[in-house]
């Protein structure tokens, strides 16, 4: 079963390699989607793939890479499936 979520990650998540780490972890799990910095200081992502892999990625996002400090991973909601590779998008 496919699951696609729009999420926002807050904390010390910019300037610590969070987007590159997210891309690498998502690709390892076979996910499609994207990740980008927000001007607010948060990181935003779309995670699309097998439900178990999306759930696993949510857990990994809560930990983040070694230099980060994640305060919250907020699921904004379910969205339409994303097709293609997992990508890093420009800041919005």
For residue 92, being part of any structural domain is answered with no
- What percentage of residues in the chain have a pLDDT greater than 70? 100
Q: 21: Cβ–Cβ under 8 A, 6 or more apart, which residues?
A: 64, 65, 68
Residue 1: per-residue pLDDT: 81
pLDDT tens for 33-70 read 999 999 999 999 999 999 999 999 999 999 999 999 99
For residue 29, being part of any structural domain is answered with yes
Query: What is residue 67's DSSP assignment?
Result: T
**Number of domains composing the chain:** 1
Give the residue numbers annotated as catalytic, written as ranges.
Answer: 19, 37
For residue 17, being part of any structural domain is answered with yes
For residue 64, being part of any structural domain is answered with yes
For residue 42, being part of any structural domain is answered with yes
Predicted model pTM: 0.95
Q: Over the chain, what is the mean pLDDT?
A: 97
Residue 82: give its domain's CATH number: 3.30.70.100
The parent domain of residue 32 ranges over 2-86
Question: Which of 77, 78, 42 has the alpha carbon at shortest distance from 61?
Answer: 42
For residue 34, being part of any structural domain is answered with yes
Average pLDDT over residues 3-21: 98
Alpha carbon distance 37, 56 (integer Å): 21
């Amino acid at each position: 079963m496919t699951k696609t979520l729009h999420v926002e990650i807050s904390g010390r998540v910019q300037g610590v390699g969070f987007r590159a780490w997210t891309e690498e972890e998502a690709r390892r799990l076979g996910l499609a989607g994207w990740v980008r910095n927000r001007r607010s200081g948060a990181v935003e992502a779309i995670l699309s793939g097998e439900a178990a892999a999306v759930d696993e990625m949510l857990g990994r996002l809560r930990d983040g890479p070694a230099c980060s400090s994640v305060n919250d991973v907020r699921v904004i909601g379910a969205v339409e499936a994303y097709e293609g590779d997992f990508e890093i998008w420009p800041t919005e």
